[in-house]
Amino acid sequence: MLKHTLLASIFTLTGISLAQAQTCEKNFKVSGIPLVTAVSYKSSQSFPKVKQAEALKRLAQAVAAEGFSGITVDKNLGAIDAHQETSGSGRPQTLRVVARSQGGGTLVNAVFNIQPGQVTTNEVVRSGICTIIRAAAG
């Protein structure tokens, strides 16, 4: 019985480690109903040995390179907020990227939100978010 409990614990811990080590593309999630409700696109990736402050600087540069405006960086929170207006409607889409220290590295989370009535493809957003997230590594 103890052997089974120990094995289950090891597999659970390994599963958690593997989930955190997955690529941005594998962690990509979408919630909401296109055209009906706001839609949120989320992803994350862990970067061992990347310092949080350096990751934050690289992430802010990547957000700018992706065409976002109104970029604010809060070093205390490790957060970047930005927006873009690509639809011509005057209703911006928002982006929040957070870099948190994790062990000897950094965990990066990103959330991109579009408003009800706006549409895009998952592939375009996944590519953009993951380009930004991967910038943390340099």
Question: Tokens 């930005």 — which residue?
Answer: 82
Instruction: Note whether 75 and 58 are within 8 A (CB).
Output: no
Average pLDDT over residues 117-124: 92
pLDDT digits (tens, 9 = 90+) for 97-109: 999 999 999 999 9
Strand partners, 97: 80, 110
CA–CA distance, 14 with 32 (Å, rounded to integer): 31
3-state class (DSSP) for residue 45: strand
Residue 96 CB neighbour total at 10 angstroms: 14
Tell me what pLDDT residue 14 has: 39
Instruction: Note whether 63 and 95 are within 8 A (CB).
Output: yes
| Alpha-carbon distances, residue 65 vs 62, 71, 82 (angstroms) | 5, 11, 12
pTM metric for this prediction? 0.82
pLDDT digits (tens, 9 = 90+) for 10-28: 333 434 444 456 999 999 9
Q: Going from the N-terminus, what domains does the chain have, and what CATH number goes with each?
A: 2-137 (3.30.310.80)
pLDDT digits (tens, 9 = 90+) for 35-93: 899 999 999 999 999 999 999 999 999 999 999 999 999 999 999 999 998 766 678 99
pLDDT digits (tens, 9 = 90+) for 23-48: 999 999 999 998 899 999 999 999 99
